[in-house]
Amino acid sequence: MFIIKNKKFFFALSAILVALSIFSITYFGLNFGIDFKGGAITEIAYLQNENSSEPQVPVISELKIELEKLELGSFTIQETSGDLSNEELGGVILRTRDLTEPERQAVFSVLSQEGTFLTEQKRYNSIGPVIGEELKSKALWAILVVVIAIILFVAFAFRKVTEVAMEENKVSSWKYGFAAIVALIHDILIPTGIYAFLGSMFIDYQIDTIFIMAILAILGFSVNDTIVVFDRVRENLAHSNREDFDEIVGKSLSQTIARSINTSLTTLVVLGALYFFGGEATKQFALILSMGVIFGTYSSIFLASPLLTLFKKKA
């Protein structure tokens, strides 16, 4: 009952975090990648050279230093794994603005270290700003469709909750769905705000398709955690012994809080390993998803469930 009795404090804390996130997004802005604003993608594979005794894959940090000298503007370079069946020892994916032919040749010269490494250009794609805007629009629609689908699913899944509850404890299934969506908005706004701040100050990660995939994964993880608590509330409503709604929600939280925290901790261990020991391409995904797991667990316990008690009082 501690959480339910102190729900105003947790509501205030969530409101402050969301407000700071909106400020961060507005003030620092979102650093959209070429997937959304247009640009070029260059993928290079480094091949095995049996005639060379030198290292056959360059150091990424050294490539970054030399690419910065070309004045390409903002760019990202990610290391990729090799494919020994094709004699590929590794590779890189470089994302830049649109390049002129001389700039493209200069980039290829840097990536191959002027022929020091045996390389193969696997692809070079140019994405125009019109296509980038189309991808941005589709990404927003994807998130919106997922949110609407979650509302409908939760409302449908809890459509009979009023039938099992006593008259004084009845809460519409739509309010369960609304509480879940408030928690979801909380869960994607805060990581996005933190990401905007970090992107302007410390890291050069961009808003791209990897970011959108992480956000969609956060939505799925967060709503799963919330539904576990709501489902326990429904079970306790059916077996309540003249308890009021606040007591039932509080008991449900105490019964599920250990499960929620343990699940999140094990997930964070995996994501931490992926971030610290995985490739460059997986770090961004692991970082965003880790923030989503943390705030998703918080919202399912300290926000979504207490919201039900607030909706019950306003019913």
Q: Each residue of 3-27: pLDDT tens digit?
A: 888 889 999 999 999 999 999 999 9
Evaluate if residue 164 carries a pLDDT over 60: no
Q: CA neighbours within 13 Å on the CB side: how many for 142?
A: 16
Q: What is the CATH number of domain 2-33+130-314?
A: 1.20.1640.10
Mean pLDDT of 236-263: 86
Do residues 161 and 312 touch, judged by C-beta distance below 8 A? no
What average pLDDT does this structure show over 142-163? 79
CATH architecture for residues 39-127: 2-Layer Sandwich (3.30)
pLDDT band at 50 (very low <50, low <70, confident <90, very high): low
Q: Where do the structural domains in the chain lie, given as residue ranges?
A: 2-33+130-314, 39-127
Q: Which among 313, 223, 303, 254 has a CA at the least distance from the CA of 6?
A: 303
What pLDDT band is residue 87 in, cutting at 50, 70 and 90? low
Q: Is the pLDDT of residue 211 over 60?
A: yes
